[in-house]
């Protein structure tokens, strides 16, 4: 089941990303980068099910790191995209 | 699988996909980013509620600390440092996935689970150490040139082999603590990440960042297998696919393949003397004084109707992008059409040059991809290269056997006149001498691009 999800989303991802123009490749990367921070969900689950203190503290550190990834990624992507402006309607011609 | 949670996951996944989909149009890209961010936030809240963690102070504090650090980094970073930041964030993601899997090794249900945990630890920590080296190289703290240790390839394959053997046969070692099993993997995987990245040269960093991006996605996906969470698997796989796709594109743009980038091949600078002297009409450099060159440049710029600017990483280094746009605006005010030709590997990560120019205020419809603009150089009055060398080097298509031969380039040499605003005549990263500088119609304005452009701007506005 999970393998199926993996293959399917890989294909969908590949297909969706082929359509992104190279103009936007940097924001695309920082955006997908933020998405790879979903691992924070794993970290949260790990904290919840942790049986030992050591694994609980590992998961806590993971939460911090993953959130740096998520928040940093989305904010910086937003910052970049805000800079992309369309030209004024062909002033000269 | 409880069905409500499944459907909620599905909604989040669809939101993330449509977020990425919107990124394909510069007009709606901002919304795409916001949708993906909201989806992520919703997923976090969902898990918090599902696992009854909302009231747990330490978890909330951990979430907040991470968010604050992330926000601080994102707000402070300069656009030229974007590759470092992305590499660093990749590293954070990888490390997080690695730690989650380590935490999970403490309670593995089955042997199969142990294998997946181990694999996730390997990929995560490799991503982490590799990314830190990449950050070091990009920010100049680690030598940009490939660092090659004695017997580098043997060392790399040796460690990799040990790692895989240990990973595969650890079941027979009868660990009393599975956590120990995971911890032993760490130093090997970390060392492998370092050794792997350290031999890759500075100009190949775009490929490396994409590759590490793919790995951080893969690590997150593996983490999903470990925690049996389909959303992690799905998002991770999408990021992985994106990273792989971008690495391929970068390689194609540099005429390299992944294997020789990773083995650090083809980046040893060769002396330009290996090239035959060009058969083109060579001009005598001494003919023109600096002042002549300068006033001639002004003349052709004033008369130009069609101008294409080809920026390279040198422009970013001298922070000349603002001056470039100032020049473009003046020329446009005089009635010329000015466009920008962006080579896919101009900059230190995919699309980097576009971001730098957008920051300077250049509207995105003036930023054209190489393939979209290359045929227009023929009909261009003036092509201006700013801090670009290898990506405009005609040797790539005229001379065989150089490190850049076969690499697609911007056909700047086809323009009527060429203004070269580079720092000096040294070859670019590839080490291949640039015959463009010897072309009859090339005017060489050596010096810091920012100052050169400033002089041109002043000249254009003074003498009206």
Q: What are phi and psi of B26, to 5 degrees?
A: -60, -25
Predicted confidence at residue B108, as pLDDT, reads 61
Q: Is B34 on the interface with A (CB under 8 A)?
A: yes
Query: If you average pLDDT over residues A54-74, what whole number do you get?
Result: 92
Q: Which one is predicted more confidently, B169 or A66?
A: A66
**Mean pLDDT, rounded, of chain B:** 84
Predicted confidence at residue B287, as pLDDT, reads 59
Q: Is B67 on the interface with A (CB under 8 A)?
A: yes
**Number of helices (H), then strands (E), in chain A:** 4, 0
Predicted confidence at residue B264, as pLDDT, reads 62
Asked whether residue A6 is assigned to any structural domain, the reply reads no
Asked whether residue A15 is assigned to any structural domain, the reply reads no
Inspect the interface and report whether the beta carbons of A20 and B219 lie closer than 8 Å: no
Query: If you average pLDDT over residues B422-450, what whole number do you get?
Result: 83
Q: Is B92 on the interface with A (CB under 8 A)?
A: yes
If 0-12 CB within 10 Å is exposed, 13-18 middle and 19+ buried, where does residue A54 land?
A: middle
Predicted confidence at residue B272, as pLDDT, reads 41
Predicted confidence at residue B214, as pLDDT, reads 93
Nearest C-alpha of chain B: how many angstroms from A14?
5
If 0-12 CB within 10 Å is exposed, 13-18 middle and 19+ buried, where does residue A72 land?
A: buried
Asked whether residue A22 is assigned to any structural domain, the reply reads no
By percentage, how much of chain B surpasses pLDDT 90?
Answer: 30
pLDDT at B35 over 90: yes
Predicted confidence at residue B356, as pLDDT, reads 92
CB pairs under 8 A between A and B: 379
What's the domain count of chain A? 1
Query: If you average pLDDT over residues B426-452, what whole number do you get?
Result: 83
| Cβ-proximal residues to A90 (8 Å cutoff; 6+ apart), any chain | none
Ranges of beta strands (E only) in B122-241 are: none
* pLDDT tens sequence across B338-356: 999 999 888 888 889 999 9
The candidate with the shortest Cα–Cα distance to B100, out of A68, A53, A62, A34, is A62
Asked whether residue A91 is assigned to any structural domain, the reply reads no
Q: Identify which of A61, A77, A92 has the shortest CB distance to residue B33.
A: A77
Cα separation of B138 and B4, whole Å?
A: 45
* pLDDT tens sequence across B192-211: 899 888 888 777 888 899 99
Give the position of tokens 């390689």: B251
Q: Identify which of A46, A72, A83 has the shortest CB distance to residue B104.
A: A46
Query: If you average pLDDT over residues B436-451, what whole number do you get?
Result: 85
User: How large is the angle between the packed helices B82-105 and B352-360, nearest 10 degrees?
Assistant: 130
Count CB-CB contacts under 10 A for residue B257: 14
Q: Identify which of A39, A70, A87 has the shortest CB distance to residue B70.
A: A70
Look at residue B91 and give its three-state secondary structure. helix
| CA terminus-to-terminus distance, chain B | 73
Cα separation of B283 and B417, whole Å?
A: 14
B interface mutation test: which of A11, A26, A77 has the most B CBs within 10 A?
Answer: A26
pLDDT at A34 over 50: yes
Inspect the interface and report whether the beta carbons of B179 and A54 lie closer than 8 Å: yes
Asked whether residue A34 is assigned to any structural domain, the reply reads yes
Q: Identify which of B51, B69, B350 has the shortest CB distance to residue A22.
A: B350
Q: Are residues B200 and A15 in contact, defined by beta-carbon separation less than 8 angstroms?
A: no
Predicted confidence at residue B31, as pLDDT, reads 92
User: Which letter does DSSP use for residue B148 in this model?
Assistant: -
Cα separation of B11 and B13, whole Å?
A: 5
User: Which letter does DSSP use for residue B394 in this model?
Assistant: T
- Comparing B118-132, B217-231, B397-411, B442-456, which segment has the lowest mean pLDDT? B397-411
Predicted confidence at residue B276, as pLDDT, reads 41
Query: If you average pLDDT over residues B207-216, what whole number do you get?
Result: 92
Cα separation of B87 and B352, whole Å?
A: 13
Query: If you average pLDDT over residues B282-293, what whole number do you get?
Result: 62
ipTM of the prediction: 0.90
Asked whether residue A71 is assigned to any structural domain, the reply reads yes
Asked whether residue A17 is assigned to any structural domain, the reply reads no
User: Which letter does DSSP use for residue A88 in this model?
Assistant: P
Nearest C-alpha of chain A: how many angstroms from B112?
14
* pLDDT tens sequence across B54-106: 777 888 999 999 999 999 999 999 988 899 999 999 999 999 999 998 888 77
Q: Which one is predicted more confidently, B197 or B287?
A: B197
Predicted confidence at residue B317, as pLDDT, reads 85
Asked whether residue A41 is assigned to any structural domain, the reply reads yes
Query: If you average pLDDT over residues B174-181, what whole number do you get?
Result: 72
pLDDT at B268 over 50: no
Predicted confidence at residue B146, as pLDDT, reads 76
| Cβ-proximal residues to B2 (8 Å cutoff; 6+ apart), any chain | none
Inspect the interface and report whether the beta carbons of A59 and B216 lie closer than 8 Å: no
Per-residue CA distances from B154 to B127, B229, B258 (Å): 21, 38, 19
pLDDT band at residue B163 using 50, 70 and 90 as cut-offs: confident
Restricting to B residues 337-396, those with a Cβ less than 8 Å away from any Cβ of A are: 342, 344, 349-352, 354-355, 358-359, 361, 363-367, 369
Q: What are phi and psi of B362, to 5 degrees?
A: -70, 125
pLDDT at B314 over 70: yes
Residue A58's domain comprises 27-83
Cα separation of A47 and A50, whole Å?
A: 5
Q: Is B217 on the interface with A (CB under 8 A)?
A: yes
Diameter over CA atoms, chain A: 71
Per-residue CA distances from B323 to A93, B72, B448, B452, B456 (Å): 24, 29, 12, 9, 10
């Amino acid at each position: 089941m999970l393998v199926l999800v993996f293959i399917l989303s890989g294909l969908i991802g590949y297909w969706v990303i082929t359509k992104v123009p190279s103009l936007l490749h940097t924001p695309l990367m920082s955006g997908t980068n933020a998405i790879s921070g979903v691992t924070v969900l794993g970290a949260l689950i790990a904290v919840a099910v942790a049986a030992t203190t050591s694994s609980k503290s590992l998961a806590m550190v993971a939460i911090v790191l993953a959130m740096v990834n998520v928040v940093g990624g989305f904010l910086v992507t937003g910052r970049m995209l805000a800079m992309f402006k369309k030209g004024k309607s062909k002033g000269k011609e | 699988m409880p069905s409500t949670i499944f459907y909620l996951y599905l909604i989040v996944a669809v939101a993330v996909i449509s977020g990425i989909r919107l990124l394909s149009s510069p007009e709606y890209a901002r919304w795409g980013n916001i949708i993906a961010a909201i989806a992520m936030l919703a997923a976090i809240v969902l898990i918090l509620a599902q696992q009854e963690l909302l009231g747990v102070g330490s978890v909330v504090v951990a979430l907040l600390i991470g968010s604050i650090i992330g926000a601080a980094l994102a707000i402070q970073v300069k656009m030229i440092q974007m590759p470092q930041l992305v590499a660093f964030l990749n590293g954070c993601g990888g490390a997080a996935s690695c730690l989650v899997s380590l935490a999970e090794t403490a309670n593995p249900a089955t042997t199969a689970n142990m294998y997946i945990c181990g694999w996730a630890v390997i990929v995560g920590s490799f991503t982490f150490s590799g990314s830190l080296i990449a950050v070091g190289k990009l920010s100049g703290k680690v030598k940009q040139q490939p660092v090659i240790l004695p017997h580098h390839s043997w060392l790399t394959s040796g460690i990799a082999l040990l790692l895989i053997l240990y990973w595969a046969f650890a079941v027979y070692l009868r660990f009393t603590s599975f956590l120990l099993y995971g911890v032993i993997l760490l130093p090997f995987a970390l060392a492998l990440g370092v050794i792997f990245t350290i031999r890759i040269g500075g100009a190949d960093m775009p490929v490396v960042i994409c590759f590490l991006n793919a790995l951080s996605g893969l690590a997150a996906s593996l983490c999903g297998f470990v925690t049996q969470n389909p959303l992690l698997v799905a998002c991770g796989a999408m990021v992985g696919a994106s990273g792989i796709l971008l690495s391929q594109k970068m390689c194609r743009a540099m005429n390299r393949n992944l294997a020789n980038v990773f083995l650090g091949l083809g980046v040893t600078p060769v002396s330009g003397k290996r090239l035959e002297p060009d058969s083109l009409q060579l001009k005598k450099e001494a003919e023109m004084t600096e002042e002549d060159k300068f006033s001639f440049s002004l003349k052709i710029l004033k008369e130009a109707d069609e101008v294409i600017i080809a920026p390279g990483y040198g422009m970013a280094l001298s922070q000349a992008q603002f001056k470039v746009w100032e020049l473009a605006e003046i020329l446009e005010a005089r009635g010329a059409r000015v466009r920008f030709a962006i080579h896919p590997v101009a900059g230190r990560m995919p699309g980097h040059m576009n971001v730098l120019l957008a920051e300077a205020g250049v509207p995105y419809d003036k930023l054209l991809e190489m393939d979209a603009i290359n045929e227009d150089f023929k009909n261009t009055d003036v092509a201006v290269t700013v801090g670009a060398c290898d990506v405009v080097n005609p040797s790539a298509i005229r001379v065989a056997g150089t490190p850049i031969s076969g690499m697609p380039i911007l056909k700047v040499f086809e323009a009527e006149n060429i203004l070269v605003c580079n720092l000096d005549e040294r070859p670019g990263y590839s080490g291949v001498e640039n015959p463009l500088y010897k072309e009859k119609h090339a005017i060489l304005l050596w010096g810091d691009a920012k100052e050169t452009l400033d002089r041109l701007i002043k000249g254009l506005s003074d003498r009206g």
